[in-house]
């Protein structure tokens, strides 16, 4: 359970597990669903609330295997994922309110 969120000068939100990197919005093309992935540790969250509630975030690769989108063989990543912008604190505003998160700069 996380109670704080590190945000940089550009309003970019940082990994809630280790505060080690920014969080990419990643489109999973076959599902047309966006998930959130740390640029450094690879932690992945399936929705915005999970950033603050997950004890153990999954990883992009583990998640895609779990739901059967990839196997153990060669993966053509460009057909499966599309990395978008970094997640901002403004986009997280509702979740920040809901979970009583304090912002750390």
CB nearer to Zn ion: give 15 or 96. 15
Identify the CA nearest to 47 among candidates 35, 57, 37: 35
Residue 95 touching Zn ion (CB under 5 A): no
Residue 38 touching Zn ion (CB under 5 A): yes
Residue 41 touching Zn ion (CB under 5 A): yes
Residue 18 touching Zn ion (CB under 5 A): yes
Radius of gyration of the chain from Cα atoms? Answer: 14
* Residues of this chain that bind Zn ion (CB under 5 A): 15, 18, 20-21, 38, 40-41, 43
């Amino acid at each position: 359970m996380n109670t704080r969120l590190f945000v940089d000068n550009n309003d970019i939100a940082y990994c809630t597990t280790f505060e080690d990197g920014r969080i990419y919005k990643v489109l999973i093309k076959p599902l047309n669903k966006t998930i959130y992935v740390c640029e450094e540790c690879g932690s992945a969250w399936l929705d915005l609330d999970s950033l603050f509630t997950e004890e153990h975030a999954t990883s992009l690769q583990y998640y895609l295997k779990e739901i059967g989108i990839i196997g153990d063989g060669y993966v053509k990543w460009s057909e499966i994922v599309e990395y978008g912008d970094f997640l901002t604190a403004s986009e997280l505003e509702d979740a920040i309110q809901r979970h009583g998160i304090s912002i750390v700069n």
